[in-house]
């Protein structure tokens, strides 16, 4: 955000699960939604979810030693979205934002809007949910079915002291390329 350009309408961008906010600018100025919106005169703000490499700061928890750092869910993430949106409103000349959620970002935004309709109807003037997956109830994908039943795997991984898997590291990157 450039405080000298507060006359530009704010757009709040929320990234997919397999990366961080930089993905919204990854394909350069001619092919990325973040650059495209900025070029068209919008004030672009980008969320980095707490599970990304970029967002590992916390007031009291160390992400390398405290498993509680990763103890959150969609309920908690909606509060992050609401705090971000309120921060944008407080720091611009606008009383609402446009919201753009891609993949998991769109799913999280969809969930948050359904749970907190008063906040979002007041503070979000338009929402674009790209590739959001609010429900996978009817999926035939073995990957999604496996992930939905992954509590056992999660417990095994946590018992090994692993709380975080970097989505850009091998073999995670190979799995992303195969299934995402």
Q: What is the mean pLDDT of residues 94-102?
A: 95
- Residue written as token pair 């993949």: 103
CATH 3.40.50.1820-classified regions of the chain: 3-134
**Which pLDDT score, from 0 to 100, does residue 4 have?**
56
> 16: closest CA among 128, 132, 127?
132
Tokens of 24: 């919204």
Q: How confident is the model at residue 175 (pLDDT cuts 50, 70, 90)?
A: low
Quick: pLDDT tens for 104-141. Answer: 888 889 999 999 999 999 999 999 998 877 666 666 76
Overall fold of domain 3-134: Rossmann fold (3.40.50)
Q: How confident is the model at residue 85 (pLDDT cuts 50, 70, 90)?
A: very high
Quick: pLDDT tens for 57-68. Answer: 778 888 888 888
> 74: closest CA among 98, 50, 58?
50
């Amino acid at each position: 955000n450039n405080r000298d350009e507060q006359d530009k309408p704010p757009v709040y961008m929320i990234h997919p699960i397999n990366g961080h906010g930089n993905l919204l600018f990854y394909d350069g100025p001619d092919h990325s939604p973040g650059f495209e919106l900025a070029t068209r005169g919008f004030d672009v703000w980008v969320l980095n979810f707490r599970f990304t490499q970029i967002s590992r700061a916390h007031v009291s928890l160390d992400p390398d030693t405290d498993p509680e750092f990763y103890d959150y869910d969609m309920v908690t993430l909606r509060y992050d979205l609401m705090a971000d949106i309120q921060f944008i409103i407080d720091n611009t000349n606008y009383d609402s934002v446009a919201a753009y959620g891609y993949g998991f970002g769109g799913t999280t935004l969809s969930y948050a809007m359904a749970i907190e309709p008063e906040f979002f109807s007041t503070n979000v003037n338009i929402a674009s949910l790209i590739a959001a997956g609010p429900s996978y109830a009817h999926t035939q994908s073995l990957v999604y079915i496996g992930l939905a039943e992954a509590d056992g795997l999660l417990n095994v991984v946590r018992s090994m002291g692993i709380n975080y898997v970097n989505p850009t590291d091998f073999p995670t990157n190979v799995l992303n390329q195969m299934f995402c």
